[in-house]
């Protein structure tokens, strides 16, 4: 098939396909007429790349999966190099999850502090002679 048909079937653009070709992820075959030609196996490569990118893998991380498919394996993750990429990605994701938990704990602490401060202001305002409540927009209430 030609580049336009492959792009359409893969749900991408011809520009993307040329880029993948320049990065060595997609084979650069030419017909006798000079046009790029592709096979169904190339569509499988593209689907593998797209799936991994949807999972957050960068383009270079897809290379071992593509090479595994090119080597004739039925799945791109049937090779040791692909498994190593999975392991690195899981470690990366675990680190991000830990970082997000830490940020969440900090935001939760700030919220609790702000709620206590607001409650204290409200209770002081209820005491005769206490501070006059202030609107969040800067104006006085009452």
Percentage of the chain exceeding pLDDT 70? 87
DSSP 3-state of 134: strand
pLDDT in tens, 75-115: 999 999 999 999 999 999 999 999 999 999 999 999 999 99
What is the rounded distance in angstroms from the CA atom of residue 83 to the CA atom of residue 66?
A: 13
Percentage of the chain exceeding pLDDT 90? 76
What is the rounded distance in angstroms from the CA atom of residue 61 to the CA atom of residue 65?
A: 8
> Considering the entire predicted model, what is its pTM?
0.74
DSSP 3-state of 132: coil
């Amino acid at each position: 098939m030609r580049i336009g048909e492959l792009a359409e079937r893969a749900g991408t653009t011809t520009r993307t396909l040329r880029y993948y070709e320049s990065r060595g992820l997609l084979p650069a075959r030419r017909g006798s007429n000079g046009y790029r030609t592709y096979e169904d196996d190339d569509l499988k490569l593209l689907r593998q790349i797209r799936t991994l990118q949807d999972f957050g893998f960068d383009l270079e991380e897809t290379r071992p999966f593509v090479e595994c498919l090119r080597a004739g394996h039925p799945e791109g993750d049937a090779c040791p190099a692909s498994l190593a990429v999975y392991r690195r990605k899981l470690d990366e994701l675990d680190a991000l999850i830990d970082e997000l938990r830490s940020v969440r704990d900090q935001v939760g602490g700030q919220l609790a502090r702000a709620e206590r401060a607001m409650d204290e202001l409200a209770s002081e305002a209820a005491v005769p002679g206490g501070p006059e409540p202030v609107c969040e927009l800067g104006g006085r209430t009452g």
